[in-house]
Amino acid sequence: MNPITLYVVDDYLLTRISHRRYFAQDESIKLIGDFSCARDCFEQMEKMPADVILMEIDLPKMNGIEATRYLKEMYPKAKVIIYTSQKNEQRVLASLACGACGYVLKNNSDIDLKKIIKMVAHGEFCMDLEVAKSAFSSIPIPDTKDLENLYENRKLKNSLTARELQVLKLLIDGKTNSQIAREIIVSTNTAKAHVGSILTKLSVTDRVQAAVKAVRANLF
């Protein structure tokens, strides 16, 4: 069986030297190049595409997330593993959205990098557990009572502005447009406009339907 070919992209020279030594004795993984910037990797990919690219995020000229996106567009079969000390939630999600097949923290002494490279090369996805907990903590909690509309209620609430939610709550309490206007200190016409916008966003035709839908969706 042919070895898995690997490129490393990391601007820290000692890291690249360490990788050369680390993979030197492994016949199943062949490190065929290491680069301090993504563009040098791109040039070599044109000549000799690698199976897996081990990619740092903080790179000069072009960051690793942008580089990952380019590689996945130009070389769909190539697998990119983000290998970094960065565990910022947005960077993790952006990396995955741009096609990374793995996200591993450099300071995690428990990982077996060779094993991860082999798994990713064979179509699996690998993520550091600490990273996964952080990144996926932002996923909204669904309404588990309704399996057909797990996120419908949250979508409804997010469609309303803070002022519209305030007006909707008063509407549920049975307030008229004039009463709502006095409560939030606006004109009656403005209050009426807010109610009209709420009816449109909730896809209902009157105030009662809006109140019922809001209560059923547990918007408050």
Q: Taking the domains of the chain in order of start, what are their residue ranges?
A: 4-136, 152-216
49 versus 26: the higher-pLDDT residue is: 49
pLDDT in tens, 68-86: 999 999 999 999 999 999 8
State the chain's mean pLDDT as an integer.
88
Domains 4-136 and 152-216 share a fold: no
Q: Tell me what the mean pLDDT of segment 6-28 comes to.
A: 93
Between CA 70 and CA 121, with CA 12 as vertex, the angle to 5 degrees is 45
Chain centroid to Cα 136, Å, comes to 8
- Residue 213: per-residue pLDDT: 81
Q: Which fold has domain 4-136?
A: Rossmann fold (3.40.50)
- Residue 129: per-residue pLDDT: 83
- Residue 145: per-residue pLDDT: 64
- Residue 205: per-residue pLDDT: 87
Instruction: Please say if the pLDDT value at position 133 is more than 70.
Output: yes
Say what angle helices 113-121 and 13-24 make with each other, to 10 degrees.
80
pTM over 0.85: no
Instruction: Please say if the pLDDT value at position 146 is more than 80.
Output: no
pLDDT in tens, 163-206: 998 999 998 888 899 999 998 999 999 999 999 999 998 888 88
What is the SS3 assignment for the chain? Answer: CCCEEEEEECCCHHHHHHHHHHHHCCCCEEEEEEECCHHHHHHHHHHCCCCEEEECCCCCCCCHHHHHHHHHHHCCCCEEEEEECCCCHHHHHHHHHCCCCEEEECCCCCCCHHHHHHHHHCCCCEECHHHHHHHHCCCCCCCCCCCCCCCHHHHHHHHCCHHHHHHHHHHHCCCCHHHHHHHHCCCHHHHHHHHHHHHHHCCCCCHHHHHHHHHHCCCC
Residue owning tokens 């179509």: 123
CATH 1.10.10.10: does it fit domain 152-216? yes
> Among 44-53, 119-128, 198-207, which range has the highest average pLDDT?
44-53
